[in-house]
Every structure is written in structure tokens, then in C-alpha cells.
Amino acid sequence: MTLKDIHTQFPILNKPIRGKRLAYLDNAATTQKPKSVIDSLTRYYSEINANTHRGVHYLSEQATFQYEQTRQTVKQFINARDTRECVFVRSTTEAINLVADSFGKAYVKEGDEILISLMEHHSNIVPWQMLCQRAKAHLKIIPLNAQGELDLNALPSLLTHRTKLLALSHASNALGTLNPIQEIIHLAHQKDIPVLIDGAQSAPHLKIDVQALDCDFFTFSGHKVYGPTGIGVLYGKSQWLENMPPYQGGGDMILNVTIEKTIYNDIPYKFEAGTPAIAEVIALGTALHYLENIGFPLITQHENHLLTIATQALSEIPGIRLIGPTKDKIGVISFIMEGIHPHDIGTIVDQSGVAIRTGHHCAMPLMDFLGITATARASFGLYNTEEDIEQLVKALYEVKRLFKR
């Protein structure tokens, strides 16, 4: 399979925006959906709509079968040992909150430490702040160097007997920096410290193997891997999940309930209270099959090619400064233009049909470190083309013309 003309499989990409061809370059925020994923959602509601796990009638059995088939698909997608280690959640954000709440209750006490980095998305900062406040624990930070890379020289001294968990993004949503997580996990495990990897930005671009990484937790969101919103995955080693208390109470996470007490269900169901996002889970399975059918070697090669071309093209525009120019990164380019606010950049290029993201990208501590308040960000997906980059560059020259810079 090639990626030539693959954009034709994504209905929204063939929709003109403001009378112009759409160049969608906001994939780090959310990806567009292929027709097969859209059809999967429609098929569920029109052909098998029923609740899972609780019915003996045909529709419920079909819904349950397809729901659990996706769990098997997720297991294969990330190479988990067992489907029991794959928990369905609403998003990466909920997955991290689940671990912060449940792992925190079981393992984090007063005086303990949680270690994160300065480049984290707010979703991998705020839950740990909340945990530390509740438990009277301390939040420690891995610093960055001038290139926007983790300062690994500082890491060994931060990993102490008080460190109960290291939570780290696989790749930065704001800079695209790809962290050396295998090396970091190895260092943490030498001191018996479990590691959570926020894979929201890596799962769409790289082949994930949680066994090879040996991470203790891994999270990703459906809407960033060409699937629906409202669904995500938490992978956790069974040894941790089995000893963590439930995150929420309700139906499906129980084995038996009396007025006096409740016996909780086995993993992963212990963490899946209530009616799940059934249609979204099934469509997530479709999206993951879609990616696997293309193959990550091809996806990675294609996106790296676009990143190289775009980096060169933007570097040649006078007045543009690239932010976080590290060599090891995913398809994300953050930049600023001299004397022009990023929001103005985004508004003007939108008139040319170019969709980019502007702002602090939910990474305000990182922006503070860099000494800026916001950037413009172009991020690539498997359906992007060199024509999209040309359209972006042309639109940026229009920004310069309007501001006469």
C-alpha cells in the first residue's frame, strides 16, 4: 500500500474551506477520520446498537463481541501481554487521572515524590499536582536543555528512594521532541521505580511495543490515531492494575454487591464502570486496523519526509524562528514570526484553507522556560502531502505581506 492519494479516503479533506483546498496541519490536536471509521460508527447504531456484557439477546451479544474484539486489537497494536492489561477510558487525560488517583491511593504517601518533565502537556502535570496535594507528596521536574530536550544528566539524582512514579511524554505535543524513553525506563527500573508513558503523540506515528519498552503504564487517545473522540486506552502491567483500587464505582466493575460491601470485578473491568463508549470502542478497532494495514514503517518514512521538507521551507522564510530544533522528533514544527502574534498567523493562514494550531498548546511551563507565550504549530499526519506544505508556505508569505515584515 502507498500513501499516494490516500486523502481521498478522508471525506472532510475533500471539503473546501473558505473556498480553498483544505491543508489540514493540526494533527497533533486531532486527526481526521477515514470513511471506514465513520462507517463503523454508523454501522453500530444502525445494525447492532445494544449494551455490552449484560444481555443474552442477539444484539447485546454482537455488541459485546465487537467491543471485546477491539480489546484484542489494542493488545496486538501495542503488543501487550494480555487483554487484561488494556483498559478502555475516555482519553489519555482520563487514563493519567485514573493512574494518579488509583495508583496514588495505593502507593503514594506523605513525603513521597512523583517525577515528571518540564515539557509535559497539562494532562500529565495537573493530575500529579492534585495527587501530591492530597497525599502531601512532592512533584519533581526533569529540566530541559536549550534545544528543548530532556537533561538526562540531571535524571539520576532525581530518581531517589522516595520516587514512587515517573510520568513522561513519549513525544512533546508542543515541540515534537521524541524522548529516549527506553533509556529512561531502564534507569528508573534500576531503582524499582515504575514508569507511565504518555503516548498520545507517539501512537499515531510510531510502532508501539510496550513489552520491548518495558513501561509500566502507557496511554493513548483514539482521536489522535484516526479514531473517534471520547475513547482512549490505558495499558498497565497486571501486577499494578490488580493492586490498584477502582477509579469509579457503578455497574460492570463489580462481581457482587450487598448493602454491606462490594466485591470488585477482575481487571480490566474493575476500571470500566458504567455503560462504555461502545460505538467509539468498536470504531477505534477499525482505526487501529487501518493503521496496521498501511504499516508504520511507511507512515514514519512519509511523515519524516514531510518534516524535512517543511523544516527547510520554513527556515528559508525571513523572520521565522523554529522553536525546539531537536533532530530526534515526530512531525511537529513550532515556530514564531518576528513581531506577529501566533493567533494572527493562524487566523490569516486559515483564510488560505490552512489549518494550524496556535497558543501555548497546554504546555505553559514549557513556554515559560522558552521565554515565549505561544507558538504557531504545524503537525503532520499520514494523509498530508508536499502540496499542503507549499500551501502553508504561501500562506505565511501572505502573513508577512499583510504585516509588511
> What is residue 34's predicted lDDT score, i.e. its pLDDT?
98
Chain-centroid distance of CA 181 in Å reads 15
Superfamily, domain 6-30+295-403: Aspartate Aminotransferase, domain 1 (3.90.1150.10)
pLDDT at 253: 76
Q: Report the alpha-carbon distance of residue 122 to residue 42 in Å, rounded.
A: 33
Distance CA 233, CA 217 (A): 10
- Residue 140 CA, chain-centre distance (Å), reads 22
Supply 201's cell numbers.
Answer: 503523540
Spatial distance between the Cα atoms of 264 and 150, rounded to a whole number of angstroms: 40
**What is the percentage of the chain residues whose pLDDT exceeds 70?**
99
pLDDT digits (tens, 9 = 90+) for 260-287: 888 777 889 999 989 999 999 999 999 9
Share of the chain above pLDDT 90, in %: 88
Asked if 98 contacts 219 with a C-beta cutoff of 8 angstroms, the reply is no
Tell me whether the omega of the peptide bond preceding residue 365 falls within 30 degrees of 0, making it cis.
no
* Model pTM score: 0.96
pLDDT at 4: 77
- Domain positions in the chain: 6-30+295-403, 38-293
The DSSP element (H or E) to which 140 belongs, if any, is strand 138-142
Spot the catalytic one: 86, 132, 215, 362.
Answer: 362
| Residue 250, pLDDT score | 81
CATH 3.30.479.30 fits 38-293, yes or no: no
In this predicted structure, the answer to whether residue 146 has a pLDDT above a threshold of 80 is no
Q: Where are the alpha helices (DSSP H) in 197-295?
A: 210-213, 238-241, 278-294
Known catalytic membership, residue 215:
no
Average pLDDT over residues 113-139: 97
